Amino acid sequence: MGNTLKAAGETRAGDVLARMRSDIISCALKPGTKLRFETLRELYEVSFSTLREALSRLVAEGLVVAEGQRGFLVAPVSLFDLNDLTDVRVLVERQCIKLAIDRGDDRWEADIMAAFHRMDRLQSRLGASYYLSDEWATLHSAFHLSLVAACGSPNLLEIRQKLFERAHRYRRMSSQFRPQWRAKDVEHKMIMDRVIARDTATAQDLVDRHIRETTENVIAHASHLFAQSGTADAFRRPDPVAAE
Amino acid sequence: MGNTLKAAGETRAGDVLARMRSDIISCALKPGTKLRFETLRELYEVSFSTLREALSRLVAEGLVVAEGQRGFLVAPVSLFDLNDLTDVRVLVERQCIKLAIDRGDDRWEADIMAAFHRMDRLQSRLGASYYLSDEWATLHSAFHLSLVAACGSPNLLEIRQKLFERAHRYRRMSSQFRPQWRAKDVEHKMIMDRVIARDTATAQDLVDRHIRETTENVIAHASHLFAQSGTADAFRRPDPVAAE
DNA sequence: TTACTGCGGATTTTCGAAATAATCAAACCT
DNA sequence: AGGTTTGATTATTTCGAAAATCCGCAGTAA
């Protein structure tokens, strides 16, 4: 029964998960949208259970929120969330950088240079609008990961990756409106240099600024898209987890 | 069809989730155990789909790991993971404390004292073995949460809570073997005092030590229960998420 | 008019069977 | 004998229908 396509060893739920994540990040599914099962079922051509599985995982990633027994929602965006997200990312990323520089070996340095090279070459090939390409987003993500891959903390890296994904959605929202992004590639090169030179303090500051300036850019050009909704309500998580 | 019990407004999956979490933390489901659906189905008296939902959420909390299309596993424990978890918790908790002290108001201070009082009174009532009680664990969790509740960062608080849960399992493993825990309550009081006095640096250091000493305690008395398994393999997460 | 209650339609949540994939062991080839 | 393929068995993943729940609205009473 030839479905879309079912790559090697990939579970159906995983495939839907990836497609939905992509659609949420690209805002094909707009923030705050109610996700009705019937609609999704025909959109992604899978059954209720499979959808539910994917939705559950997206809730874990913070891209979808669950409302008790009233269904699911694309996680809303807001100025408050963006600022909070940015602060947490800076905290985590600074620590990752520090640990990676302390613990990284030659192999780690080589991987960074390789990741940068791949990203750099793709930018040249794609020209001015590289930032709109999914392929570039992947290489960009891989580059930033390579910088901190040697930090030696699986837990920190997992947290970092989830935050990076969430932030990606905000970045996409602004790139949509700002064809001429400022030259991130220069910053990337500087960060790489300072990291490989094991200059912890400077590397941390550069990454800090890299993140915060991007946020400022988003706020300047895309904040009109954000929900004015209350600072508190937009962040209710479904599960009070343990306490109470 | 009178099932166990179905409290107000609680979804079945949520109930199973809570029970499984409790069983994993208490090690009724031992670390590293393969979770077969048929077994779980009769143990928790629910269907495949409902189980799958609960399992998915537990994966998000890091208490269960998924192995491709080869089923689920209770997340293994290891010395490496415990140490890593501890380091990340210290990073997060220090930041939470700092922000809460910067931003907390009178109401926040009052809530801390109330949470401490409830925990303290329960300890008196239960006597020497209070730490084995689930009720105390809840109040203990609530107390630590109250300290940082005013930090103003939903994202940081969510991360903190998940890490706290994971650490809880390790704490349980050692309390099982060490009936006479050292007097945590004195530490709790000191922390509360320094937090309310807005003495950020000291409060951070106390919490830091509070966490690290507990970890040392666990290592000293329960590390023989840990898997010797490789430092890397025990932490594979199911989903490479975005980066390739 | 305003607040409360009970019905009807829509949506989510749960179920267990059917399809798909992995595991294990015996037989087969080299 | 060692290693590989095949086939039977077991476990997981997916499906769509059935049950439970929620939401809006009409009708009634204060």
Whether residue A145 and residue B87 make contact (CB cut-off 8 A), yes or no, is no
Q: Which two tokens stand for residue B171?
A: 């704490």
How many Å lie between the alpha carbon of B86 and the closest alpha carbon of chain A? 10
How many Å lie between the alpha carbon of A168 and the closest alpha carbon of chain B? 11
Whether residue B68 and residue A161 make contact (CB cut-off 8 A), yes or no, is no
The letter for the amino acid at B128 is A
Choose the mutation target among B26, B82, B241 for the interface with A, i.e. most A CBs under 10 Å: B241
Which residues of chain B (75-94) touch nucleic strand D at CB < 7 A?
A: none
**Using an 8 Å Cβ cutoff, are A78 and A173 in contact?**
no
Q: Whole-angstrom Cα distance, residue A63 to residue A55?
A: 9
First-to-final CA distance of chain B:
47
CATH architecture of A12-76+228-235: Orthogonal Bundle (1.10)
User: Measured in whole angstroms, how far is the alpha carbon of residue B32 from the centre of its chain?
Assistant: 18
Q: Tell me: pLDDT of B233 over 50.
A: no
The secondary structure element, H or E, covering residue A170 is: helix A154-175
- What mean pLDDT do residues B86-109 have? 98
List, for residues A39-64, the tens digit of each pLDDT value: 999 999 999 999 999 999 999 999 99
User: What pLDDT is recorded for position B113?
Assistant: 98
Query: Is A7 within 7 A of strand D by CB distance?
Result: no
Q: Tell me: pLDDT of B244 over 60.
A: no
From the list A90, A205, A214, A196, the residue with the least C-alpha distance to A146 is A196
Q: Whole-angstrom Cα distance, residue A223 to residue B81?
A: 40
Query: Is A10 within 7 A of strand C by CB distance?
Result: no
User: What pLDDT is recorded for position A241?
Assistant: 32
User: Which pLDDT band holds residue A237 (cuts at 50, 70, 90)?
Assistant: very low
% of chain B at pLDDT higher than 70: 86
CATH architecture of B12-76+227-235: Orthogonal Bundle (1.10)
Integer CA distances (angstroms), B120 to A150, B110, B175, B179, B186, in order:
43, 15, 19, 18, 10
Whether residue B154 and residue A95 make contact (CB cut-off 8 A), yes or no, is no
Q: Which residues pair with B73 in a beta bridge?
A: B34, B65
Whether residue A59 and residue B61 make contact (CB cut-off 8 A), yes or no, is no
Which residues of A are less than 8 Å from B9 in CB distance? Answer: 68-69
Do A79-225 and A12-76+228-235 fall under one CATH topology?
A: no
Q: Which of the residue ranges A2-6, A64-68, A226-230, B103-107 would you say has the lowest mean pLDDT?
A: A2-6
List, for residues B18-27, the tens digit of each pLDDT value: 999 999 998 9
Give B38 CA → C17 C1' in Å.
14
From the list B9, B11, B52, which residue is nearest A53 (CB)? Answer: B52
Choose the mutation target among B58, B88, B119 for the interface with A, i.e. most A CBs under 10 Å: B88
| Nucleotides in D strand less than 7 A from protein CB | 11-17, 20-23
Query: Is A50 within 7 A of strand D by CB distance?
Result: yes
Q: How many CA atoms lie within 13 A of B215 on its CB side?
A: 22
Q: Where are the domains of chain A?
A: 12-76+228-235, 79-225
The CATH homologous superfamily of the domain defined by A79-225:
GntR ligand-binding domain-like (1.20.120.530)
- The nt closest to A49 (CA vs C1′) is D14
The letter for the amino acid at B193 is D
Whether residue A59 and residue B60 make contact (CB cut-off 8 A), yes or no, is yes
User: What pLDDT is recorded for position B130?
Assistant: 82
User: What pLDDT is recorded for position B237?
Assistant: 36
From the list B52, B86, B95, the residue with the least C-alpha distance to B209 is B86
User: Which pLDDT band holds residue B137 (cuts at 50, 70, 90)?
Assistant: very high
From the list B68, B161, B242, which residue is nearest A165 (CB)? Answer: B242
Which residues of chain A (114-143) touch nucleic strand C at CB < 7 A?
A: none
**Using an 8 Å Cβ cutoff, are B149 and A226 in contact?**
no
Whether residue B138 and residue A244 make contact (CB cut-off 8 A), yes or no, is yes
What is the average pLDDT value for chain B, to the nearest integer?
A: 87
Phi/psi-derived region of residue B152, left when phi > 0, alpha when psi is between -120 and 50, beta in every other case: left
Q: Tell me: pLDDT of B146 over 90.
A: yes
- For A63, which DSSP code? S
List, for residues B31-82, the tens digit of each pLDDT value: 999 999 999 999 999 999 999 999 999 998 999 999 888 999 999 999 999 9
From the list B87, B145, B154, which residue is nearest A84 (CB)? Answer: B154
Give B13 CA → C6 C1' in Å.
29
Integer CA distances (angstroms), B96 to A95, B178, B203, in order:
15, 30, 11
- Whole-complex ipTM: 0.88
Query: Is B2 within 7 A of strand D by CB distance?
Result: no
Give A9 CA → C28 C1' in Å.
29
Taking the CB of residue B200, how many other CB atoms lie within 10 A of it?
A: 17
